[in-house]
Amino acid sequence: MKFPKLTRRTSPQNSSIPVDDLGFGDKVARIPGTRLVNDDGSFNVVRRGRSVFAPYQELVEMSWPRFLMLTVMVYAILNLVFALGFVLIGTDSLTGIDSEASFGSRFLSAFFFSVQTFTTVGYGTMAPDGVAANVLASFLALFGWVALAVVTGLFYARFARPTRLILFSDHALIAPYAPTGKSLQFRIANKRDTKLINVNARIVLTWLEITGGEVKRRFAPLQLERDKVPLFPLNWTVVHPISEESPIYNWTKEDFNHRHSELLIMIEGYDESFAQQIHVNNSYTHDEIIWNARFEPMYFEAPASTELHLDRIGRHQVLEEE
């Protein structure tokens, strides 16, 4: 297998870079173009072979439209099954159902009786009559209580589940820094009105490199100008100064591309509204880094407040080449 555009030359600083592979190792995602972290912050790992049956986790993590559709579908199917049970026992065992009516009408009545018993509504127009019908109705009522408890727990778990509160800029930038230097930057903001405090940022650069005829993945932590903000009311431009101590000192745009570089980003903080710690991952691949650009302001002074425009999170200006 060939790996085009990979460099065999290592940067002079590599020997002093501490090992910080974040648990990925140097033999992962070695095919050029494969990223380690997806756009939604999940790991780009697909598990094969043994599968673990975890319906609760699946129900909590699936999308809302799919969850609601599945809930309604299961609710309807269960009541159809119980309605069929009452029909098999005989609809004459249910008072309030005309025994001379058509099969479809009697089945529909049995279905609505099942719904009323399942939800413990019980309008009183229909009632079980006989041992078999009462036993089935009792089991149906118990099953309805259990189902209601399960669905209520799932709804609570889904609402209480931490969501992605941090908004990231679409691109990272190589921007001017200090009088004549450069910096690697990206921007984040809290997209809700919740109060986030003690927000920490960590960046690790990863790239592909050929060593001894073998393609390996390298990792290097990037020191930040500021890696923590106690309060997070506005946006935060996370900056890595590209100084002589930086692993990417003297790297060019071609170096980033040829090495198939990717920035791995970890954000941690505390959400006071929900009293819970949050963890958010993101990444920028080499083709998501814009060179010689600067972020435009995204908050402005108002007469009685400060306005933060979230739609400007990624707005930037490309500077003219000197």
Q: How many CB atoms within 10 Å of residue 198?
A: 14
d(C-alpha 175, C-alpha 160), whole Å: 39
- The lowest-confidence range among 112-126, 284-298, 304-318 is 112-126
As annotated, the residues of the chain forming the CATH 2.60.40.1400 domain(s) are 12-41+164-318
Backbone angles phi, psi at 130, to 5 degrees: 115, 160
Q: Is the pLDDT of residue 13 over 50?
A: no
Query: What's the CA gap between 77 and 91, in Å, rounded?
Result: 19
pLDDT: is 205 or 121 the higher one?
205
pLDDT at 9: 44
12-41+164-318 CATH pick, 3.40.50.10490, 3.60.10.10, 2.60.40.10, 2.60.40.1400: 2.60.40.1400
pLDDT at 260 over 70: yes
Higher pLDDT pick, 21 / 227? 227
DSSP state of 310: G
CATH value of 55-160 in 1.10.287.3510, 1.10.287.70, 2.102.10.10, 3.20.20.450:
1.10.287.70
Between β-strands 289-291 and 172-177, what pairing exists: parallel, antiparallel or unpaired?
Answer: parallel
Per-residue pLDDT reduced to its tens digit, 135-170? 999 999 999 999 999 999 999 999 887 777 899 999
Averaged pLDDT score across all residues of the chain = 88
Q: Taking a C-beta distance cutoff of 8 angstroms, is the pair 104, 195 a contact?
A: no
This prediction has a pTM of 0.74
- Could you report the per-residue pLDDT of 207-238, keeping only the tens digit for each? 998 877 888 889 999 999 999 999 999 999 99
pLDDT digits (tens, 9 = 90+) for 57-111: 889 989 999 999 999 999 999 999 999 999 999 989 999 988 889 999 999 999 9
At 268, the pLDDT band (50, 70, 90 cuts) reads very high
Q: Where in the chain is the domain with CATH 1.10.287.70?
A: 55-160
pLDDT at residue 3, as a whole number = 41
Helix 103-118 and helix 131-160, axial crossing angle in degrees, nearest 10: 60
Give the pLDDT score at 19. Answer: 55
